[in-house]
Chain A
Amino acid sequence: MTDARIITGNQAAALAARLCDVQVIAAYPITPQSQLAEMLSLYVESGQLRAEYVRVEGEHSAMTVCIGASTVGARVFTATSSNGLLYMHEQLHWAAGSRLPIVMCCVNRGVGAPWSIFNDQQDSLAQRDTGWIQMYCRDNQEILDTIIQAYRIAETVYAPVMVCYDGFVLSHTMMPVVSPTPAAVRKFLPPYKPHTILDSNNPMTINSVLLPNRRPDAEGVLCDGYMEMRYKLQNALNRSPETIREVNRQYAEAFGRDHGGMLWTHRTEDAEVILTSMGSLAAEATVAADALREEGIKAGVVGIRVFRPFPEKKEVVAAYRNAKAIILFEKSVSYGYEGGLCSDLKAAFYGSGINAAIHDHVAGLGGRDVKARELVEAVKSSLARIAEGERELNTTWLNCHTE
C-alpha cells in the first residue's frame, strides 16, 4: 500500500534523512531550516532513528562535525540556510577537498545585510565554487527523492551534495508526498564505505601540508601535489553527470518517479521561447508556459536541476536547440554582472550555433512573491523588446521599483 502523507518540505527532508539511515546528524537552527532540525531531534530522541545527534553551537561546527564523522565512516546529514551556509563556507571547501560524501539541505533564504528571513537562492549560488554538487528541487516529493538519490551520488563519486529547496515556498508548505518503504530505500542505497579507514595498524596523517610539486613517498613513488588533488576533484565533478543521470534512472525504475537527471524539460519539443529557472520558480514557469501557449505563444521550460556540475554542453544545446528566445528567471544575482545561471548558460551556447536572444530576469529576492501571470507578462514584454531588435538587455529586476 502506498504511504502518502501531506507534509511540509522540511518534514519531507527529515523523513528522507531517516529513510537513508543517517548515522550522525549535526545541525544548528536557522529559519527556515529549523523545523527540519527539530524533526530529526524528535526522531532520534524517540528512538525512530538510531543516530548520534550533535547539537552544535554554530554552523561552522555543524559542518565540521559532519566532516569528522564522515571521515571515520559514518553517514552524516546536516541542513542550514542563508547566513548559516555562509558561516560554513570554509568547511564546505574542506568537505569537498576531503572528498567526503556529506549530504546537506540548503533551505534557500536571502542573505544579509539587510536581514531577510524569506526565500531567494543567493545563499547556495554564492557557494558555487566550493566543490559541492548542487541539486535544486521543485516540490516536496522531489525533496524526499533527491535526498535519497544524493547519498547514492555522493557515495559513488566521493563528493558532497547540497540539496537545495526554497524556504517557506517549499519548506513550510504542505503537499502530498509518497514515502518509499525503508526496505526499498535500503535496497537502493547500500551502506556507506569510506575511501580511507583511520586505523592504528595503518597510521596516516590526512590532509597534511602539500608542497606545490609532486613528492615521492618513502618507497620513491611520486605522489600527488596540491594541483593533482584539485584536478581529481574537478574530474570527479566533471564526470558526475553520468552518475547523476544513472542514479535518477535507477530511482525512477525502483520508485516510479523521474525528476530529470541534470535538467528537465516541459513542452520544449516545438517551443520557440524557452523559460529557464531553478527550484520552485522553475515549477512556476511551467504554469506560465502553459498560459502562454493558450495565448498562442509556443513556450516551454528547461529546468536546471543540477547547477554544479553544470549540465554538459551537449545536453544543454539539445534542450534549447529550437529556441528563438530564452527567458531566464533567477533568485540570485552576481553583483556587477548578471544572474549566475544566465552567464553559465551563455557559456554553454558558445560555438554551438544557438543564437537565440537571451533575457535575464532577477526575481523574488528576499521572498518577494512571483506569480505565474507575472512571469507571463515578463516573457511577453521580453518578446516585444526582442521583436524591436533588443536581443540582449541588462538584467531586468522583476516587480521591483527601480526608479
Chain B
Amino acid sequence: MPQNLFKIHEKEYVLPGTRACQGCGLSIAYRFALKALREDTIVTLPACCLCVLHGLYPLTPVLVPSVNNTFASTAASASGIAAGLAALNRTDTTVVAFAGDGGTFDMGLQALSGAAERGTDFIYVAYDNEGYMNTGTQRSSATPMGALTTTTPVLTKQQHKKDFLKIMEAHQIAYIATTTPAYPIDLYDKFVRAKRIKGTRFIHIHTPCPPGWQYPTKDTVRIGRLAVDTGLCVLFEVENGKFRFTGRSRTLAEKGNKLPVVHYVERQGRFKKMSIEQLSQLQNWVDDRWEEYKKKAAESK
C-alpha cells in the first residue's frame, strides 16, 4: 500500500474544462495517470469517452501531446508512433495508448494482439467502463452479466464479461496491472512502474461510469471501492510472469473478507432487472476467478 499522497507529482496535465460527464471515473484515472507519466509522453486515443474529455477543436484541457485515431487502430497507432520515434532516435518518449473497453476487448483486439506479440515498446491502457458509454450505453463484451444496456434493454446482458486479462497474460508481455480510480495512489504507482519498464505494458482500469451504470455521481469512488471489495475488480500486477495482489485486494486475499457481489450490484440501476439466477452466476464467476488469482499468487511466491 502506498504510504502517502505527498509523493504524487504536483503538476496538473488535465486542466479544468474537460467535456467528461459529472462524476466520470475516467477523469480521475486520466488525471493521475498523466501525473505519473509526466512530460515526454505521447498519447494516442480512438473515438471514445477520452476523445470527448479532450474537448472540441481548437481547445483542449490536456497538456500532453496526443493524437486521435480510428476505433480499431489504437495499438497500431502506438506501434507507428513508437517506430517513428525509434527511427528518429527519440526513444526517451513514452508512447501511451488509451482506449475504452469497446476499443480494446472488441474492435481493437487484433491491433493490440499484434502490437503485444511484436513486443512493441508502449503502454496500453484499457479504461473499462463496461460498455459503449460514449455512444449511449450499448453492450460490449466487457459488460457484466445481468446489466441493462441500450442494446440489451429488456433481457439484460446474458453472458459474462470477457476475461481479457487472460488474453493479455497469454501474450507474455513485460507488465500487466489492474487498477481503479477509486484507489488513485494504486493507479499512480502502477503507471510510475509501467513507465520504467521496456516492452509492452498493459494496464486495465476498472472505470465507474455514473450515466452508464446508473448511480449518483457522488458515488464513483464508493462504487469503485465496492467493486474491489466484492472481487469484481481485483487489483494485481504481473511482472515477468509473477503475479501479485496489490492494495486493497491484497488485504482481502490475506484476510478472506471479500464481500458478496450483491453489495455492489444493488447500488446500480443497470442491474435492476438482474435475476436471482444471474446474481448467483455472477457470484460464482467472481469466486472462480478469485480462487484462480489466489492460486497464481501462491505459485508466484
Contacts and interface: CB of A to CB of B under 8 A. Distances in A.
Nearest to A50: B87
A211 B90 CA distance: 34
A61 B86 CA distance: 18
A64 B57 contact: no
Contact of A69 (B41, B66, B84): B84
A56 to B, nearest CB: 6
B83 A205 contact: no
A351 interface: no
A217 interface: yes
Given A61-B110, A67-B77, A90 B70 contact: yes
B159 interface: no
A68 interface: yes
A2 interface: no
B79 A205 contact: no
B67 interface: yes
A73 to B, nearest CB: 6
Given A52-B86, A67-B77, A223-B57, A57 B113 contact: yes
Contacts of A224: 57
Contacts of B113: 57
Nearest to A206: B67
A209 B52 contact: yes
A199 B67 CA distance: 12
Interface residues on A, range: 35 or more
Q: Which of A24, A65, A199, A223 has the most CB of B within 10 A?
A: A65
Interface string A181-214: 0000000000000000011101111111111000
B84 A68 contact: yes
Nearest to B64: A203
A393 interface: no
B31 to A, nearest CB: 15
B59 interface: yes
B60 interface: yes
A347 B232 CA distance: 63
A60 B87 contact: no
A1 interface: no
Interface residues on B, range: 35 or more
Contacts of B55: 205, 208-209
Interface string B56-82: 111110111111111011001111111
Contacts of A64: 69-70, 73, 76-77, 79-80, 111
Nearest to B38: A200
Given A64-B111, A210-B57, A71 B67 contact: yes
B263 interface: no
Contacts of B87: 23-24, 51-52, 69, 74
A55 interface: yes
Contacts of A57: 110-111, 113-114, 117
A205 B68 contact: yes
B80 A65 contact: yes
Contact of B65 (A70, A203, A218): A203
Given A61-B73, A69-B87, A223-B57, A26 B67 contact: no
Contacts of B80: 24, 26, 54, 64-71, 76
B76 A60 contact: yes
A254 interface: no
Contact of A207 (B42, B63, B67, B90): B67
A44 to B, nearest CB: 11
B39 interface: yes
A91 interface: yes
A249 B90 CA distance: 36
B54 interface: yes
A144 to B, nearest CB: 23
Nearest to B117: A57
B67 A198 contact: yes
Contacts of B238: none
Interface string B174-217: 00000000000000000000000000000000000000000000
Contacts of B51: 208-209
Interface in B80-129: 80-88, 90, 110-111, 113-114, 117-118
B40 interface: yes
B43 to A, nearest CB: 9
A146 to B, nearest CB: 24
B65 A23 contact: no
A47 B87 CA distance: 14
A255 interface: no
B249 interface: no
A218 B59 contact: yes
B44 interface: yes
A51 B77 CA distance: 17
B13 to A, nearest CB: 8
A58 interface: yes
A72 interface: yes
A74 B84 contact: yes
A243 B71 CA distance: 34
Given A55-B118, A58-B114, A208-B60, A26 B83 contact: yes
Contacts of B54: 205, 208
Contacts of A210: 56-57
Interface in A36-84: 51-52, 54-58, 60-61, 64-74, 76
A206 B68 contact: yes
Nearest to B43: A205
A211 B42 contact: no
A76 B78 CA distance: 15
B79 A56 contact: yes
Contacts of B111: 57-58, 60-61, 64
Interface of B: 39-42, 44, 51-52, 54-60, 62-70, 72-73, 76-88, 90, 110-111, 113-114, 117-118
Given A23-B84, A26-B80, A58-B114, 17 more contacts: A26-B79, A54-B118, A57-B111, A61-B73, A61-B111, A69-B84, A71-B84, A72-B81, A72-B88, A198-B65, A205-B60, A205-B62, A208-B55, A208-B56, A215-B56, A215-B58, A216-B58
Interface of A: 23-24, 26, 51-52, 54-58, 60-61, 64-74, 76, 90-91, 94, 198-200, 202-211, 215-218, 223-224
13 contacts: A57-B114, A61-B111, A65-B83, A67-B69, A68-B76, A69-B81, A69-B84, A70-B84, A74-B87, A206-B66, A207-B69, A208-B56, A224-B57
